[in-house]
């Protein structure tokens, strides 16, 4: 998985402790795919998510992981980790400034000093141009026996820096379409760096691509590596 490989590259490049196993906390771990791939490299994986169906799937599919229910703003595991990752746009569910501060404070509480925080979010800089915004997108998913088509309608609110996605899933074998409606906060690079600095994080790098190469920040995603100081 490309996201797991990007995380692995950041860990290899910036981790202050290259010995194994590193303890990794995945906030918003979902089905556990990214965390499981990192664990296969020899790390110890712990996951947090607020979706009970996803947690049940992750616990069944990846019994080697420690998976817990929790909200990213309020969970308390009573320990600190070498690395905290929050990928797949999970962090952008923080729609208010208060939510952003609460999540970052909680991330810092769960990180050892000089530990790494890795974020993967939507890149607000891309949406500065109206040509970069697609109101409709269609994707196809095929994994094992699961085959589905997802048709997404996008709504952009520049005033509130929010991005709403109304996605309709047509799944093989299901009689009715499944609709999920999600809203995300958009962050600009300098804005996010300021938030991080307020919670004792020093940004080590930002990229708009999974290859982690320098570019013009017009890519759809924003990958961030920060150190707890």
Same domain membership, residue 119 and residue 168: no
Q: Which of 184, 201, 220 is the last residue of a domain?
A: 184
Provide the domain count of the chain: 2
Torsion of CA 61, 64, 69, 75, to 10 degrees: -150
Give me the CATH number covering residue 207: 3.40.50.150
Same domain membership, residue 119 and residue 29: yes
Same domain membership, residue 208 and residue 104: yes
Same domain membership, residue 61 and residue 30: yes
Q: In angstroms, rounded to a whole number, what is the distance separating the alpha carbons of residues 167 and 218?
A: 24
Same domain membership, residue 204 and residue 97: yes
**For position 20, what pLDDT does the model report?**
73
Q: Note down the domain range covering 165.
A: 126-184
**For position 135, what pLDDT does the model report?**
81
Give me the CATH number covering residue 179: 2.20.25.110
**For position 81, what pLDDT does the model report?**
97
Average pLDDT by stretches of 10, the chain with 229 residues: 91 78 95 94 94 90 94 97 96 96 98 96 84 80 83 90 91 88 94 98 96 91 96
Same domain membership, residue 150 and residue 51: no
Return contacts of 48-56, CB within 8 angstroms, 24+ apart: 48/72, 48/75, 48/77, 54/29, 54/30
Same domain membership, residue 155 and residue 108: no
Cβ-based neighbours of 123, under 8 Å, separated by 6 or more: 186, 189, 208, 217, 219, 220, 221, 222
Same domain membership, residue 221 and residue 139: no
Tens digit of each residue's pLDDT (9 = 90 or more) over 130-173:
666 778 889 888 877 778 899 999 998 988 999 899 999 898 88
**For position 130, what pLDDT does the model report?**
63
**For position 131, what pLDDT does the model report?**
65
């Amino acid at each position: 998985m490309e996201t797991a490989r990007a995380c692995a590259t950041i860990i290899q490049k910036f981790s202050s402790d290259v010995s194994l196993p590193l303890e990794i906390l995945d906030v918003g771990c979902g089905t556990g795919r990214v965390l499981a791939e990192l664990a296969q490299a020899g790390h110890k994986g712990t996951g947090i998510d607020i979706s009970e169906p996803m947690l049940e799937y992750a616990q069944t599919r990846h019994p080697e992981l420690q998976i817990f229910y929790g909200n990213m703003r309020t969970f308390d595991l009573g320990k600190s980790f070498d690395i905290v990752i929050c990928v797949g746009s999970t962090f952008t569910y923080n729609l208010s400034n208060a939510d952003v501060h609460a999540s970052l404070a909680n991330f810092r509480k769960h990180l050892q000093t000089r530990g790494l925080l890795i974020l993967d979010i939507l890149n607000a800089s891309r949406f500065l141009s109206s040509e970069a915004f697609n109101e409709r997108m269609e994707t196809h998913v095929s994994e094992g026996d699961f085959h589905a088509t997802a048709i997404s309608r996008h709504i952009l609110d520049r005033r509130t820096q929010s991005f709403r996605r109304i996605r309709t899933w047509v799944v093989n074998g299901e009689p009715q379409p499944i609709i999920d409606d999600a809203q995300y906060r958009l962050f600009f690079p300098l804005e996010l760096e300021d938030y991080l600095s307020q919670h004792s994080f020093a940004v080590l790098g930002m990229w708009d691509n999974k290859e982690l190469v320098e570019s013009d920040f017009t890519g759809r995603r924003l990958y961030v590596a920060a150190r707890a100081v």
